[in-house]
Amino acid sequence: MSNWFARHFADTTSRRTQADLDRERFLIGSIPFQRWVLFPAGVIVQLAVGSLYAWSVYNAPIAALMSTTAEVISETFYIAVAGFGVAAFLGGPWLERHGPKKMVAIGSVMFFLAHILAGVACHINSVGLLYFGYGVLGGLGIGFVYICPVSVLTKWFPEIRGLASSIGVAAFGAGSVIASFTQDALITAQGPRDTFFILGAVYFVLSFGSAMLLRYPPPVTPVPTQAPRDDDKDAAAEPAPTPTIEKGNGPSPIGTTLAEDLLSRNFAFVYCIFFLAVIPGLVTISRVSDMVKTAFGKPKATGTWVTGVNGLFNVLGRMVFGALSDKFGRLPMMIFSITLTVISLVVVLIGINNQQFELFLVFFFALTAAYGAALGLIPGLLSDCFSAARIGALFGVAMTAWAAGGVAGGVGFTAVIKAQREAGVQPWHVYDIAFYSMIPLAALGLILAAVFWKLRRSAVARM
């Protein structure tokens, strides 16, 4: 097994042949390919799998159908997050070798089958099948799909790397805005079972069709940049590789191998900061609808629209912070976003404890925007540290930090919240322990980000 892992992560050589490159010069027939078409294609793919974020809308209806609790059904989300992490981790090198078209196609099929199995699970009242179908299989499919548009856009648009990558991850968050309303409407009209069947088919058509448009830049085609760094200039001075098969198995433009990048101090900092920055968002986003209904006693309709609006702030956080990072730098914006996370956690808890719904909403939306910011900044930060040569593999491994945060935080805090409810704690104090735990974790992420920024500035000053 260890030999397989070593070979898997050592080989990032593209398998594209000259015939493949010739075909990729065109979209359909004789219509020339233009890189700008990758934006709508990537957005559509991410909208489909981004429906994961609206899972909280399913919790209560499925719990009622299966005569269990919302906490039991919410575990499906965290299982999917774990599957996402495994797929992103293993899929990165495979993506570099075989390209985004094949990987998105495979992930789309898996996500479709996940919906079918989830619908069957609702029909036969099987929580186990729900966990396996949407949780395991769906999570794997989402992970395979997710890293592809981000990698594609980062490689094709280096002159707006922060904005391009943030659009790729923002579309994933936007999926919850649309899905929260479509899922609620379909569940009301058709029930959870048929909702899974209908949406599974729709998502498959959209994502599989868009997969046919995705591709990496050809190895001999220059992509314009506004201000190439020194390492980019050195790479440009090297002889161009043959277009028959790309050479991605050796050192990147900064002279390191993938293994060296993954074992470096820079990657360790990025990984730990990312892990700590996303835990609060992952824990809260998946249960926002439940929090609105249980902690504040609001009706189901209120929980639905809050979930949708919250998804919009997730999108805005990714896009706005990603775009601003092109001007102000990735680490300064990361520090700002984690600071906003810490402040928002404190004020959201105050809002819940004092039953101030408007205060809760404002800072919950801010918390979600800060969470989205972390996801929007990571691809650009990785590219700054290691170049974009193997961003698919690097980003895939980095996303295991997101998955680990979701599993550790989600499962752990779900158990705490469930225990609080069973102990008879008042609904507006059920979340106290969870928030008290998340505040120092986010603060630690802030400290690490500040230290890493100082180290990076010192390294640049010595050059």
**What is the reported pLDDT for 252?**
55
Other CB atoms within 10 Å distance of the CB of residue 344: 24
Q: What is the pTM of this model?
A: 0.77
Average pLDDT, the chain: 85
**Model pLDDT, residue 136:** 96
pLDDT at residue number 234: 44
The tens-digit pLDDT sequence of the chain (463 residues) is 667 777 777 777 788 888 888 888 888 878 898 889 999 999 999 999 999 988 888 998 999 999 998 888 988 988 998 899 899 989 888 898 888 999 999 999 999 999 999 999 999 999 999 999 999 999 999 999 998 998 899 888 888 878 888 888 888 878 878 888 899 899 999 999 999 999 999 999 999 999 999 999 887 444 344 433 444 444 444 443 333 334 444 455 556 778 888 889 999 999 999 999 999 988 887 778 788 988 898 887 888 788 778 888 988 998 899 889 988 999 999 999 999 999 999 999 999 999 999 999 999 999 999 999 998 899 889 988 887 777 888 888 998 898 888 778 777 877 888 888 888 888 888 888 889 999 999 999 999 999 999 998 887 766 5
- Closest by CA to 174, choosing from 375, 347, 455, 456, is 375
Q: At 26, give phi and psi (nearest 5°).
A: -125, 150
User: What string of H, E and C letters represents the secondary structure of 22-81?
Assistant: HHCCECCCCCECCHHHHHHHHHHHHHHHHHHHHCHHHHHHHHHHHCCCHHHHHHHHHHHH
pLDDT of 256-274, one tens digit each?
778 888 889 999 999 999 9
Q: Where are the domains of the chain?
A: 34-218+256-462
The CATH T-level fold of domain 34-218+256-462 is: Growth Hormone; Chain: A; (1.20.1250)
Helix (H, G, I), strand (E, B) or coil at 340: helix
